[in-house]
Amino acid sequence: MLNINDLSIHYQSRQAINPVIRHLSFQLQKGEALAILGPSGCGKSTLINALAGSLPIESGTIEYTAGEQSSPLDPKLHKIGLIPQNFGLLPWKTVKENCLLPLKIRKEYHKSRGTDDINQIYEALNIHNILDKYPNELSGGQLQRTAIARAFLLKPDLLLMDEPFSALDAITREEARELFLKVWANRRPTTILVTHSIEEALYLGTIIYVMAAQGGDINYQMKNPYFGEIDPEHTDYLTTKQLLREQLIT
Ligand code: ADP
Ligand code: MG
């Protein structure tokens, strides 16, 4: 379980302080995928970067609980899988080397080496034929699927995704989302994804929060009955979509 309590994050420049997240608290149970919807500039990337440990927090706590053990979330202690907006692949490493890098950094490669698990992920994400290619030889969809594979290979305690599919064209995006969901549903790592896309939140979030334009307040939350549904056209779905749209602009 992830427990975020009274979290505040700001940016400071010489001229001013920009308080982006103020007193944010929420809990996330193991195996859930929380989709945080919010308008551009509301602090989604800020939150993801803070959770990933790459941005300092001003105050508050981020606790990770597994069984009886509870401790501050720490990238050295916990396995945090990150799928950043720009995919974050190293251009001088092949697809395979990129995928295995987080495991090697954590000295966990020997544990998974030669297991079917690694190959299953490559195949599920349809990158098994491009393992020796370099990022600049790949399409957007292939880059995306590589970044997803890299995150799952780590068997993350927490999976973080920042607008993961927004750089792709519509058809590639649908395909990548579907493959992602298949792999996700199989393993169910506790996940937080941030997005400005209502469709994406409804497709990938078991729980949906709507973040306010300023201050990082959660204005609305719901359990998502449409998780994993492709193109639902029933009225309830459309009503929910409309409701989220209204929450997003107020
Ligand atoms: P989102 O991802 O929701 O679009 P961000 O988290 O990137 O929003 O940004 C939230 C706010 O923080 C914005 O007002 C943005 O201008 C500001 N901001 C983001 N990154 C920095 C930074 N490195 N330094 C100063 N201000 C920043
Ligand atoms: Mg962002």
pLDDT at 87 over 70: yes
Q: pLDDT digit string (tens) for 1-40?
A: 999 999 999 999 888 999 999 999 999 999 999 999 999 9
C-alpha pair distances (Å), 19 with each of 48, 72, 112, 217: 16, 22, 42, 12
Three-class SS state of 105: helix
What's the pLDDT score for residue 249?
83
Does ligand 1 lie within 6 Å of residue 20's CB atom? Answer: yes
Is residue 150 lining ligand 1, measured as CB closer than 6 Å? Answer: no
Q: Residues 6 or more apart from 215 whose CB is under 8 A from it?
A: 19, 20, 21, 22
For the CA of 40, the closest atom of ligand 1 is 4
User: Is 209 within 8 Å of 27 (Cβ atoms)?
Assistant: no
Ligand 1 pocket check for 139: Cβ under 6 Å? no
Q: What would the pLDDT profile of 98-135 be if each residue is shown by its tens digit? A: 999 998 888 877 776 667 788 999 999 999 999 999 99
Total number of residues shown for the chain: 250
Compute the average pLDDT of residues 219-246: 91
Per cent of the chain over pLDDT 70 is 98
Query: Other CB atoms closer than 10 Å to residue 171's CB: what's the count?
Result: 9
Tell me the ligand closest to 40's alpha carbon: 1
Q: Taking residues 44-54, what's their average pLDDT?
A: 95
Return the percent helix, strand and coil in the chain, to nearest 5: 35, 25, 40
Instruction: Report which bound ligand comes closest to the CA of 9.
Output: 1
Q: Are strands 33-37 and 2-12 parallel, antiparallel or unpaired?
A: unpaired
pLDDT tens figures, 133-180? 999 999 999 999 999 999 999 999 999 999 988 888 888 889 899 999
